[in-house]
Structure 1
Amino acid sequence: MDVLDLLKPGGMIMVPILICSILATAIIFERFWTLRVSKIAPKKASNEVWHWIKNKELNSKKLRALKESSPLGQIFAVGLANAKHGREVMKESIEQEATQVVHDMERFLTALGTVAVITPLLGLLGTVIGMIKVFAAIQLEGTGNAAILAGGISEALLTTAAGLTVAIPALIFHRYFLRRVDEIVISMEQEAIKLVEVVHGDREIDLGGE
């Protein structure tokens, strides 16, 4: 009931702003849960691969399990499966798989960015509608009806405030998640380069982190 009481003075524009706020909140919680380093690029996956390579224990069963374990494991598995075709083919297969992984990591971020952009515009639209009502009331009834004037001004102020309240955190988290994706991608790139070099004998395996 309190929410409805808050929405009513803002008019119909408060409905899409409320929808945007629910959408942004859902995306933020979902991305916090999904974009965890322990989930996307676990250190365990790297250590297992180095151990398998060093002890020549790689087989199709382990590659299948690796592919299903995490996005980094997925990239490793594709690269290892194509290692026999040479360095360039291995690198290309890793890059293609990494493109899909990064796309999945950026899922819903476009929607979050869109919310950050459109909610201030919705608030501005509500402001314009509220001011139109104020001037229409003045034209019809003069300045004597304070209730109508207050209602229009209230609608204008509430929608602006609501739009900014949704947009500011949406913009902050949108930039935060993009930064987090970039950091994870850099980490995975380093691990993928190391994998190519190890497999093709350009680098020694270091299991000191185990």
Structure 2
Amino acid sequence: MESYDVVVRFFQNGGPFMYPIAVVLVIGLAIAVERWLVLSTARARNRRAFATAMARLEQQEYRAVVEAGAKSSVPIARIVAAGISRYIGSRRREDIESAMEEGVMEALPRLEKRTQYLATLANVATLLGLLGTIIGLIAAFTAVANAEATEKASMLSSSISVAMNTTAFGLISAIPLLLLHAVLQTKTTEIVDSFEMASVKVVNTLADAGALPAKTRTSDG
């Protein structure tokens, strides 16, 4: 209960800028939770869809892979389907790789959606904290200028202490948002890397089945 009172008093003493900082923090946390759930779900669904697609590829059920990808909303299923669809029309390795790279690029914006807002919100929280402190200091010095000489020192130190609460709360809000941004960026990068690895595995599976011509190598000299 005592710690709760300390938090409430800290918030109340910070002035009006504590409220917009709190709003920024809540919005950032909501975005972080939503993105975490989306990315975690996407990772699990991609794994299942890729396992199914690879099983069909090993059985050379190429049409089934394309049809499943067309009906699916899972990015990896659509990426593999794009590559196999290009394979059916053109058996050139470069065309297949290009089709799957295009699929990865189409999936990337959906994975990165709103994640970049966290870094922006962290900066906004910090700047709001600084702005609140500056305005608080201006008000403090104005009040001190009209105070009695014996009261100036104590009034100034008290006012500065209160004004600093805004900066502290801005940093308290910004640091977790920056950490969450880094975590979500890493999670997104891992998913994109899995897309690229899946593309390589699809091409290698087709090559191992003899469905693709051998990759030519150019020798120097």
TM-score range, shorter chain: 0.7 to 0.9
Instruction: Tell me whether 1:75 sits opposite 2:82 in the alignment.
Output: no
Displacement of 1:171:
0.8
Quote how far apart the aligned CAs of 1:16 are: 2.1
Deviation at 1:180, TM superposition (A): 1.5
Q: What is the TM-score with the length of structure 1 in the denominator?
A: 0.82
Identity of aligned residues (%): 31
Match of 1:158 in 2: 165
Tell me the secondary structure at the aligned position of residue 82 of structure 1.
Answer: helix
In the alignment of these two chains, the number of paired residues is 199
* CA RMSD after TM alignment: 2.6
User: Is residue 124 of structure 2 the alignment partner of residue 118 of structure 1?
Assistant: yes
Deviation at residue 8 of structure 1 after TM alignment = 4.2
- Letter of the 1:166 partner, please give it: S
Residues 185-207 of structure 1: CA distance to partner in whole angstroms, max 9, x if unpaired? 222211111112222x2468xxx
Residue number in structure 2 paired with 1:28:
32
- State the partner residue of 1:65: 68
User: 5+ residue gaps in structure 2?
Assistant: 211-221
Amino acid of the residue matched to residue 82 of structure 2? V
- Of 197, 201, 204, the residue aligned with 1:194 is 201
Question: Which residues of 2 match residues 96-135 of structure 1 at below 5 A?
Answer: 96-135=102-141
Worse-superposed segment, 164-173 or 134-143: 134-143
For residue 207 of structure 1, what is the aligned residue in structure 2?
none
Preserved contact between residue 123 and residue 174 of structure 2 (Cα < 8 Å): yes
Contact 1:10 1:154 in 2 (8 A): no
Q: SS of 1:141's equivalent?
A: coil
Instruction: Give, in angstroms, the shift of residue 154 of structure 1.
Output: 4.7
Aligned CA distance change for structure 1 residues 128 and 75 (closer, same or farther; 3 Å) = same
Give TM-score scaled by structure 2 length: 0.78
C-alpha separation between the residues in 1 aligned to 2:19 and 2:167?
13
Question: What whole-Å deviation, never above 9, does each CA across 1:29-83 have from its counterpart, x for those lacking one?
Answer: 11110111213x21x22222222123233326x5343351522112112211112
The answer for unaligned runs of 5 or more in structure 1 is 205-210
Is the 8 Å Cα contact of residues 106 and 181 (structure 1) preserved in structure 2?
A: yes
2:58 and 2:205 in contact (8 A); partners too? no
Q: Distance in 1 between matches of 2:180 and 2:174?
A: 10
Q: 1:46 to 1:6 in 2, by over 3 A?
A: same
Counterpart position of 1:50 = 54
Q: Which amino acid aligns with 1:45?
A: A
Contact 1:9–1:154 at 8 Å: present in 2 too?
Answer: no
SS at match of 2:178: helix
Which consecutive aligned stretches of 4+ in structure 1 deviate over 4 angstroms post-superposition?
Answer: 2-8, 145-151
* Structure number, greater radius of gyration: 2
Q: Does 1:14 align with 2:18?
A: yes
Maintained 8 Å contact 2:62/2:84? no
- In structure 2, relative to structure 1, the CA distance for the partners of 1:54 and 1:132 (3 Å cut) is same
1:88 match: 94
Which AA in structure 2 matches 1:89? D
Q: Which amino acid aligns with 1:134?
A: A
Q: Distance between the aligned counterparts of 2:34 and 2:159, measured in 1?
A: 37
User: Which stretch shifts more, 142-151 or 109-118?
Assistant: 142-151
- Distance apart, 1:135 and its partner CA: 0.5
Partner residue in 1 for 2:189: 182
Q: Does residue 136 of structure 1 match 2:134?
A: no
Task: Name the CA distance, whole Å, in 1 between partners of 2:209 and 2:118.
Answer: 42
Match of 1:208 in 2: none
- How far the C-alpha of 1:7 sits from its partner, in A, is 4.6
